[in-house]
Amino acid sequence: MQMTDVLPTRCCKSMRLSPENKVPQQGFRDGDNSLHNLLLHALARSVSRLNSNYFFSCLHPSDQTTLLKAAWREICLLGAAYSPIDFSLHFAVHTSKMSDNEKKDADAIRRIHDAVVACHSLNADPVELWFMDTIMFLRPDIGNLVDSGKVRTLRDRAQVSLRNYLSKAQAHNPARFGQVLLLLPILCAVAGDVESIVVGSDHGKNLVSKLLNFTQH
């Protein structure tokens, strides 16, 4: 059977995580509803999804880590947009409670909020979300990859698979493929803002480092 025929089934199965693929939860602050902590939780869920991702499993272990470190900010945003938590509410609460020292982050928080809203408004189904994760982290042009050619081939296959899926699932909306892909640069544009919020403390830096090194190898 061709790869494009099995991917929708495979990716839906990957959304149901087995216990060994779940990232460690130590280090999260129970009861902490700060934007910082909520984004860390979104990142943890996103890393869990990637560790069950078929394309991710095809990569050299070193490339898994390299690609995850390059794409974690955008993947975190995608996780936030499709979290059961109402992030719009928490953005508003966080902004209203900022100290004078924190107000320098107000513009960054607004940009993150706008990107999350744009992503959520796409109303992506689980298969589309899986493909967006996949295409986001498959970046053959970043440095220090063991096998950039394989990364490029997998990215091309993911894009073709997404297009084939949408041609059936969204046959009434031929523009859907472009709408999904055009969302990715919006997430990339605020990657620096996400990093400033999430790793703005030693606690955040340490937890992000732990999550990014929790790959299948």
- How far is the C-alpha of 18 from the C-alpha of 207, rounded, in Å? 22
Q: How many Cβ atoms from other residues are within 10 Å of residue 79's Cβ? A: 23
Asked whether residue 207 is domain-assigned, the answer is yes
Please answer whether residues 217 and 61 qualify as being in contact, where contact means their C-beta atoms are separated by less than 8 angstroms.
Answer: yes
| Tens-binned pLDDT, residue by residue, of the chain (217 aa) | 344 444 555 555 544 433 334 444 444 454 455 677 778 888 888 888 888 888 998 999 999 989 988 888 898 888 888 877 766 666 666 666 665 655 667 788 888 888 888 888 999 999 999 999 999 999 999 989 999 999 999 999 999 999 999 999 999 999 999 999 999 999 999 988 888 877 766 666 777 777 777 654 4
Asked whether residue 23 is domain-assigned, the answer is no
Instruction: Provide the residue range defining the domain that includes 143.
Output: 33-212
The three-state secondary structure class of 142 is coil
Asked whether residue 56 is domain-assigned, the answer is yes
> Virtual CA dihedral for 89, 49, 168, 179, nearest 10 degrees?
50
- How far is the C-alpha of 159 from the C-alpha of 135, rounded, in Å? 7
Asked whether residue 19 is domain-assigned, the answer is no
Asked whether residue 10 is domain-assigned, the answer is no
Residue in the structure block whose two tokens are 């999804």: 49
Asked whether residue 5 is domain-assigned, the answer is no
Number of domains in the chain: 1
Asked whether residue 3 is domain-assigned, the answer is no
Output the CA–CA distances (angstroms, integers) from residue 195 to 29, 153, 176, 188, 200, in the order listed: 19, 29, 29, 12, 8
- How far is the C-alpha of 47 from the C-alpha of 23, rounded, in Å? 7
Collect all residues with Cβ–Cβ distance below 8 Å to 207 and sequence separation of at least 6.
27, 28, 40
Question: What pTM does this model have?
Answer: 0.78
CATH number at residue 54: 1.10.565.10
Asked whether residue 50 is domain-assigned, the answer is yes
Please answer whether residues 81 and 116 qualify as being in contact, where contact means their C-beta atoms are separated by less than 8 angstroms.
Answer: yes
Distance linking the first and last C-alpha atoms of the chain:
28
